[in-house]
A and B are shown apart, each in its own frame.
Chain A
Amino acid sequence: MTKHFFGDTTVLLGRSLRHITRSPDTIITTAIMPIAMMLMFVYVFGGAIRTGSDTSYVNYMLPGILLITVASGIAYTAYRLFMDMQGGIFERFQSMPTARSSVLWAHVLTSLVANLVSLVVVMLVALLMGFRSSAGVLAWLSVAGILILFTLALTWIAVIPGLSAKTMEGASAFSYPLIFLPFLSSAFVPTDTMPGPLRVFAEYQPVTSIVNAIRALFAEQPVNTDIWIALAWCVGILIVAYGFAMNTYRRKIS
């Protein structure tokens, strides 16, 4: 059984990636919203926002935009999984001598690939809009690592509604609060202008530390404790979501 795990996962990953190349609109739709937000924030609101730092506003808000990109991208992860569950092909795979968890892992890896492509698209647009970073290879790799961890964490969250939703809307609605979360963080404005309770929330929620860490890496500033808090959040969410997702999965297949 498990001896086929890697082979079967590869075959199924190939299948899902083919789905994406046949409907590239999912990548475009994923990238369009964050790009539109970026345009709006930089050209409409940006001039009025005081970030208190000397970087350009594009540089300031790109980390938050990247997180929004992932948050909207994983709606498709849930959607693809939901469609497999509905269509009966999931049951077909489960009744075959295929490594059983391969179906799930293929969706998770597909989500990772699709989101990384969207992130690259958004990043390219940001470059056109004047984003600049002199960060070295190590800093870029760290940013990539954080984004990959973040994507995996949100992907495992997405697996839960993907497996258990009753309707297509239900499968993707969970992503709206996740898309909204960066607005209540340091992603677009410094948190110290926010009123009391909101400020406390903003300062301690995961997005703020992740945004601050990525921003510092891009700006070649010393990464302080933010990066460790960011990593802890990502890994923590990843582990908890994975646990719940696997639990949901086991209930589904037994």
Chain B
Amino acid sequence: MTTQQAPAIQVHGLEKSYKDLRVLRGVDFTVARGSIFALLGSNGAGKTTAVKILSTLLKADAGTARVNGFDVATQAADVRECISLTGQFAAVDEILSGRENLVLVARLRHLRNPGKVADDLLARFSLTDAGARRVSTYSGGMRRRLDIAMSLIGDPPVIFLDEPTTGLDPQARIEVWQTVKDLAANGTTVLLTTQYLDEAEQLADRIAILHEGRIIVNGTLDELKQLLPPAKVEYVEKQPTLEDVFLTLVGTKA
């Protein structure tokens, strides 16, 4: 249980229902420190629900979850000290400027030099020129970059990214991917949810698929690929993509 050795995230038997809808029915997984963990799932699989529980916004019905060694239910304040959340929909203040948004978060995280923190992040996310403009004038991609920049303030050791690249153009996606890789290289633990299988392939050290309330597979990309015959003989021989694995396991209805 010591904060130092414990995995960054430990989830055990997590359950959550909305009224009759049983969304999570016993979710288990562990995320090692400094690694990137991708949670895959179709629409409505419960990815956002899981992320909200881990970031102390929702209470689980059963099971335990620890982040950085702290229990999300009983030590929520400690958990909040060491996480940050980039939700599925950009959580930025439209009426403030980009810079004011960053300063606001830096102040609320009780950092010493909010102005400098903001300017550094604006530069890092190519937003310096737009920094003084109101966020309501930003494009979707700029808004998302600002959103992610706001989440990096204070260098929290664990970061949750809920579908961080949904709605971004290919160039912006690659920029976000690079940011995520840099974070992990510097020791930050990243849990991201995504519907883009190539995103998980590109980024994740481990991939888990959430389906019908449970984690049905959890492994490295190579391990997942071994769940299918290594190569299918068609007209041309090709390696299965993660997409093949996903669709086989989840079972397409189409």
Residues of B near A11 (CB, < 8 A) are 104, 107-108
Check A19–B105 contact: CB distance below 8 A: no
Would you call A92 and B109 a contact (CB within 8 A)? no
Asked if residues B105 and A96 are in contact (CB atoms below 8 Å), the reply is yes
> How many residues of A are in contact with the other chain, CB < 8 A?
24
Residue of B nearest to A10 (CB): B107
Residues A89 and B91 in contact in the complex (CB < 8 Å), given A96-B84, A97-B81: yes
- Which residues does chain B contribute within 8 Å of A92, judged by CB atoms? 85, 87, 91, 105, 150
Contact size range, B: 20 to 34
Docked complex Cα distance between A1 and B76 (Å): 11
Residues of A within 8 A of B (CB): 1, 4, 7-8, 11-12, 15, 18-19, 22-23, 87-89, 91-98, 253-254
Chain A residue nearest to B87 in the complex (CB): A88
A-B contact pairs, 27 of them (CB 8 A): A4-B110, A11-B107, A11-B108, A12-B108, A18-B96, A87-B93, A87-B94, A88-B87, A89-B92, A89-B93, A91-B52, A92-B85, A92-B87, A92-B91, A95-B56, A95-B80, A95-B83, A95-B84, A96-B84, A96-B109, A97-B81, A97-B109, A98-B80, A98-B109, A253-B57, A254-B58, A254-B59
Query: A15 to B93, Cβ gap below 8 A?
Result: yes
* A23-B80 contact given A94-B57, A96-B105, CB 8 Å threshold: no
Whole-angstrom distance between the alpha carbons of A102 and B90 in the complex?
21
Q: Which of B52-78 contact A (CB under 8 A)?
A: 52, 55-59, 77
Residues of A within 8 A of B59 (CB): 254
Would A91 and B57 count as touching, CB distance under 8 A?
yes
* CB-contacts of B178-224 with A (<8 A): none
**Which residues from chain B contact A8 at a C-beta distance below 8 Å?**
108
Chain B contacts for A22, CB-based, 8 A: 95, 134
Residues of B within 8 A of A18 (CB): 95-96, 100
| Whole-angstrom CA separation of A94 from B77 in the bound complex | 10
Q: CB-CB < 8 A to A7: which residues of B?
A: 110
B29 within 8 A of A: no
Q: Which residue of B lies closest to A1 (CB)?
A: B77
Chain B residues in 8 Å Cβ range of A15: 93, 96, 104
Residues of chain A lying within 8 A (CB to CB) of residue B91? 87-89, 91-92
Min distance, Cβ B19 to any Cβ of chain A, angstroms:
14
Q: Which 6 A-B pairs have CB atoms at the shortest separation, nearest pair first?
A: A88-B91, A92-B91, A95-B85, A95-B55, A98-B108, A11-B107
Contact A23 B95 (CB under 8 A): yes
Q: How distant is B137 from chain A, measured CB to nearest CB, in Å?
A: 13
Asked whether A97 lies within 8 Å of B77 as measured between CB atoms, the reply is yes
Chain B residue, CB-CB nearest to A102: B108
A88 to B135, CA, bound (A): 15
Query: Taking chain A's interface residues, is the majority helix, strand, or loop, or is none over half, making it mixed?
Result: helix
| Contact across chains for B87 and A91 when beta carbons are under 8 A apart | yes
Q: Which residues of B contact A88 (CB under 8 A)?
A: 87, 89-91
A95 touches B57 (CB 8 A): yes
Provide the bound-state CA to CA distance between A7 and B56, in Å.
22
Return chain A residues, CB-CB under 8 Å to B84.
95-96
Q: How far is the CA of A12 from the CA of B104 in the complex (A)?
A: 8
Q: CB-nearest residue of chain B relative to A83?
A: B94
Nearest B-chain residue to A3, judged by Cβ:
B110
Which chain A positions have C-beta within 8 A of B83? 95
For the complex with contacts A95-B56, A98-B108, 17 further pairs of A-B residues with Cβ separation under 8 Å are A1-B77, A8-B108, A11-B107, A15-B96, A19-B95, A22-B95, A23-B95, A87-B93, A88-B90, A89-B91, A89-B92, A91-B57, A91-B85, A94-B56, A96-B84, A97-B109, A98-B109
Would A93 and B108 count as touching, CB distance under 8 A?
yes
Complex CA gap A98/B108 in Å reads 6
Chain B residues, Cβ within 8 Å of A93: 108
Residues 99-145 of B at the A interface (beta carbon under 8 Å): 100, 104-105, 107-110, 134
Q: How far is the CB of B32 from chain A (nearest CB, A)?
A: 22
User: Which residues of chain A have C-beta atoms less than 8 A from B95's C-beta?
Assistant: 18-19, 22-23
Nearest CB to that of B108 among chain A residues?
A98
Least CB distance, A72 to chain B, in whole angstroms:
21
| B82 smallest CB distance to A (angstroms) | 9
- A contact residues around B57 at 8 Å (CB): 91, 94-95, 253
Interface string of B26-52 (1 = CB under 8 A from A): 000000000000000000000000001
**Complexed CA–CA distance, A66 and B83 (Å):** 46
